[in-house]
Amino acid sequence: MSIGNTMLRVTGLAVRVLVLSMLFFCLVPLARSATIYVDDDACPDNGTGTSNDPYCSIQDAIDASVSGDEVLVYPGSYAERIYMKTGVNVRKAQAAKPVIVATFKTLVKFEGVDDCALDGFILDATGVSNGSAAMIRVYDGSANITIQNCEIKGANSPGGNIAKSGIRLNGQVVANIINNTIINTLDAGITTHWIGTIVNSTVTIQGNTITGHGTAGIYFNAASGDTNRVIIGGNTLAKGNYIANNGSGSDEKGSGIRMFRISQASIENNTIVGNRRAGILLIDTSTLTPHIRTNSIHDNGESGINIGGASELTIGPGNEIYNNDVSGITFYVFENSRLNGFPESQPALITGNDIHGNAKAGIAVVDWVSGLITINGNTIHQNMGSGIAFFKNCTAVITDNDIHTHPTGAGIFTGDWSGTYPPDPDNQPSILAFDRFRGPAYLTIRRNKIHGNRSGMRLDHAAGVITNNLVYDNSRSGIRFSGDTTDPYGPFPFVTVWGITEITNNTVVDNGSHVVSTDDDRGGGIVYDDINTTVDPATGQTRNFYDPPLRDPGQMPRVIKNNITAYNKKAGIRDAVCSSQRDYNLYYGNNGTLTFVPPQISGCGFTGNPHELFADPRFIDRAAKDYRLASDSPAKNSGDDGNDLGAFGGSDPITW
C-alpha cells in the first residue's frame, strides 16, 4: 500500500471519530442550573420543587438547591428563618412580593456564603415581641452578596423597639444593598451595630429608602487601620438613597449617615433630610473618589455635615446643603479627640457647593483642626448667622467663593472676645465665643466676592493675609479686623505675635449703607479694631460687638497696599496706627466726600505714603456692580508692582 493511501485511510478514520464524538455530546444532555419553586398555597404537601409541585418552605427549596440554581417564591406569608447558600439566588416569582414574617430575631442570614442574592421580599418583624437583633445578618466571609428590591420593616412606627436594625454586617464582607425600603428599627437601617465592625470590606448602598430608625439611617464602624470601601449612592439620581427622619431616639448619634474609621467613603446623589442630629456625621473617616458630592442635605436637626477626628474629606462639588438647624458644615463632633486636649489632623476640601439658609452659619469651625481646611468655589448665602465662622484655632484657605446676604452676621467671622470654654455648638455664631487657648485662626482669604452681609469680614481672632477680594454692599464695614503684631498685646496664651499682616489688592466699595449718625466709624471700608480693649475708655461701658472700633497705637505697621476703597460710609482705610506700611491705595467718595483727604484716611497724614491716590476709580458700571476698571481708570497699572489696583489687579487677580 502506498504511503499516500495509508495517509488517506488514517485521515478518514480521524474524521469519523470526530463526527461520532460530536454526535455523542449532542445526544448527552449538558448539566444546567435548575429553577426551584416555592408556593405556600401548595401546603400541606411539601412538594418536590417543580412549578407544578412546589415546595411550601423557602428553606426546603434552598436546602435542595446547588450552586447555580435559582429559587423562585410565589406570593404568600412564610413564617421561617432562611439561611442563604453559595451560588443560589432567592427571588420573588411574580410582581407581588412574598412576605417573610418573623418567628426568630433574625429572618435571613448570609453566613460565609458567596455569589447569592435575596431579591423582592417583604421582611416583616412587626409581630415579634422581642426582636433584639437585625432582620438580615451578613456574617464574616460572605462575598458578592446582594440584597435588593426588598421591604424591610422593623416596627409600625419610627424608632420602634421590635427589630434592633434592618441589615447588619460584620467582619469581612462584599455586599450590595440596592433598591430596598428599610424602615422603623430601634437602632439603624444598615449597620455594623455599635459594638461590631467591618474589616477590609466593600459595601455598596444604592437606591434605597432608609427612614424612621431610632439612632441612624446608616451606621458603619471599623477598627483603626482597616481598609473599608463604603459607597452610598452613585453617579445617577437613581442610584442615590433617600435617608430621612432618623434619630428619633435620644442617642447622640442620631444621624442620617454615621461613619467611624471608614477609610474610603463616597456619598453621592443622595437626599438626606430631617434627621435629628446631623445629615452626615463623620469621625476619623476619609473620602475617596467620587467623595461627597451632588447630595441634597437639608432640614436636619443640627448640621448638614458634622466632621470630627482624623477625617480627611472632599466635600463637593455639587452638594446643596440648606435649612439645617445649626450649620451647613460643622467641624464639631461629640466623640472626638478634643477630649484628650489635642486635635487630630483633619485636612478637608470644601468645594463647589451651594450652602444656604442654615440657622447659624454656612460653615462653622467649632473644634480645633490641625489639618488644612480649603474652602474653594462655593456659593455661601442667606444663612441666619454668618457665612463662614471660626471659633477655634485652625489654618484655612478661603478662595473664589461667593459669600453673600448674611444680614445679621459677617461673610467671614472669627468670634467675639468673650472667650468661654467649651463653646456651645448650638449657639448662634454671633454670640459664640472664640476659644483662644491654642491661638488664632490662620486665614488666607483670596479672590472672594463678599457682599450683602452685615460685615463683609469680621476678623477678631485671625492672623494671615487678605488679597484680591471684592467686598461691597455690606451694611457695616467691608473688612473689620483686629490683631496684634507685637508683644505684649496678644490675648493668646501661647502666641505673642499674631494678626492680619497683609491686606492687598482688594476692592472695598459701597459698604456702610445702614449706618446712622451715631454709628461712628462702623461703616468704613478697611477698619482696624483693638479687641483687647473690652471696656470703652470714653464711657467705661463694656464694648458691644458692633461698637465703634478703637485704635491701638502700640501696633507695628502691617502691609496695606494696592487696594481700592470707594463710596464707603466712613473712612476708606482706618488702621491702628498712621505709620502702617500703607501706600499705593486709591480712595474716593468715602465718608461723604469725593477726594477730601482726611476723612478718606481717618485723619492720617502722608508721611511715608507718597503714592496714595485720591481720584475716581472709574469702574465699568458701579450701578450694575461691575467693579472692573475702565481703560482710563487712574488705578490702571498703579500698583507697587506695576499692575492694576484692586481685586482685578495684582499678580493673582480675581477672574470670575
How far, in whole angstroms, is CA 407 from its chain's centroid? 25
Place of cell 425600603: 181
Residue 252's pLDDT band, with cuts at 50, 70 and 90, is: low
**Predicted local confidence at residue 24, as pLDDT:** 40
Write down how long the chain is: 656
- CB within 8 Å of 400: residues ≥ 6 apart: 376, 377, 446, 447, 448, 654, 656
**Predicted local confidence at residue 131, as pLDDT:** 60
Same domain, 162 and 235: yes
Residue 506's pLDDT band, with cuts at 50, 70 and 90, is: very high
Same domain, 529 and 643: yes
Residue 654's pLDDT band, with cuts at 50, 70 and 90, is: very high
DSSP 445: E
Report the 10 Å Cβ neighbour count for 412.
34
454 assigned to some structural domain: no
Closest CA to 500 of 530, 462, 553, 552: 462
583 assigned to some structural domain: yes
Last residue of a domain, one of 235, 270, 301: 301
463 assigned to some structural domain: no
Measured CA to CA, the distance from residue 556 to residue 538 in angstroms comes to: 24
Same domain, 596 and 629: yes
**Predicted local confidence at residue 491, as pLDDT:** 62
The rounded radius of gyration (Å) of the Cα atoms in the chain is: 34
- CB within 8 Å of 181: residues ≥ 6 apart: 150, 151, 152, 208, 209
Q: Stretch 430-438: mean pLDDT, rounded?
A: 66
392 assigned to some structural domain: no
Last residue of a domain, one of 44, 78, 101: 101
- C-alpha cell of residue 317: 462639588
Same domain, 220 and 283: yes
**Predicted local confidence at residue 19, as pLDDT:** 43
313 assigned to some structural domain: no
Task: State the residue range of the domain holding 76.
Answer: 33-101
- CB within 8 Å of 516: residues ≥ 6 apart: none
Same domain, 261 and 119: yes
Q: Stretch 308-312: mean pLDDT, rounded?
A: 87
Residue 73's pLDDT band, with cuts at 50, 70 and 90, is: very high
Same domain, 164 and 85: no
Q: Which residue type is seen at 50?
A: T
Same domain, 123 and 78: no
Span 282-298, pLDDT tens digits: 989 999 999 999 999 99
Could you give the count of Cα atoms lying within 13 Å of 26 in the half-sphere of its Cβ?
6
Distance set, CA 107 to CA 38, 81, 101, 102, 154 (Å): 17, 5, 8, 6, 11
399 assigned to some structural domain: no
Higher pLDDT, 191 or 43: 191
Question: What is the number of domains present in the chain?
Answer: 3
Residue 172's pLDDT band, with cuts at 50, 70 and 90, is: very high
- CB within 8 Å of 423: residues ≥ 6 apart: 366, 391, 392, 432, 433, 435
Higher pLDDT, 249 or 619: 619
Residue 46 burial (C-beta neighbours within 10 Å; 0-12, 13-18, 19+): middle
Q: Stretch 362-380: mean pLDDT, rounded?
A: 93
Measured CA to CA, the distance from residue 594 to residue 628 in angstroms comes to: 19
First-last CA distance in the chain: 94
- Percent of the chain whose predicted confidence (pLDDT) is above 90: 62
Task: Name the least confident of 20-34, 110-124, 569-583.
Answer: 20-34
User: Do residues 551 and 576 make contact, with C-beta atoms less than 8 angstroms apart?
Assistant: yes
255-275: b (≥16 Cβ within 10 Å) or e: bbbbbbbbbebbbbbbbbbbb
Average pLDDT of the chain, as a whole number: 86
Alpha helix (H) residue ranges in 392-491 = none
Same domain, 182 and 239: yes
Q: Stretch 611-623: mean pLDDT, rounded?
A: 96
Span 135-163, pLDDT tens digits: 999 999 999 999 999 999 998 888 777 78
Distance set, CA 342 to CA 307, 374, 435, 440, 457 (Å): 16, 21, 13, 15, 28
Q: Stretch 502-515: mean pLDDT, rounded?
A: 90
**Predicted local confidence at residue 535, as pLDDT:** 74
Last residue of a domain, one of 101, 120, 149: 101
Same domain, 490 and 600: yes
**Predicted local confidence at residue 25, as pLDDT:** 41
Span 393-423, pLDDT tens digits: 899 999 999 999 998 889 999 875 344 434 4
Closest CA to 627 of 453, 508, 505, 501: 508
523-556: b (≥16 Cβ within 10 Å) or e: bbbbbbbbbeeeeeeeeeeebeeebbbbbbeebb
Task: Name the least confident of 9-13, 241-245, 261-265.
Answer: 9-13
φ/ψ region of 295 (left if φ > 0, alpha if ψ in -120 to 50, else beta) reads: beta
Q: Stretch 450-461: mean pLDDT, rounded?
A: 92
443 assigned to some structural domain: no
Q: Stretch 108-126: mean pLDDT, rounded?
A: 96
Same domain, 267 and 285: yes
163 assigned to some structural domain: yes
Span 16-59, pLDDT tens digits: 444 444 444 444 444 458 999 999 998 878 889 999 999 999 99
Residue 525 has pLDDT above 70, yes or no: yes
Same domain, 620 and 485: yes
Task: Classify strands 626-629 and 619-621 as parallel, antiparallel or unpaired.
Answer: antiparallel
**Predicted local confidence at residue 7, as pLDDT:** 39
Residue 518's pLDDT band, with cuts at 50, 70 and 90, is: low
Same domain, 183 and 249: yes
Q: Which helix (H) or strand (E) holds 15?
A: helix 3-27
Place of cell 502702617: 580
Place of cell 475617596: 288
Measured CA to CA, the distance from residue 258 to residue 336 in angstroms comes to: 13
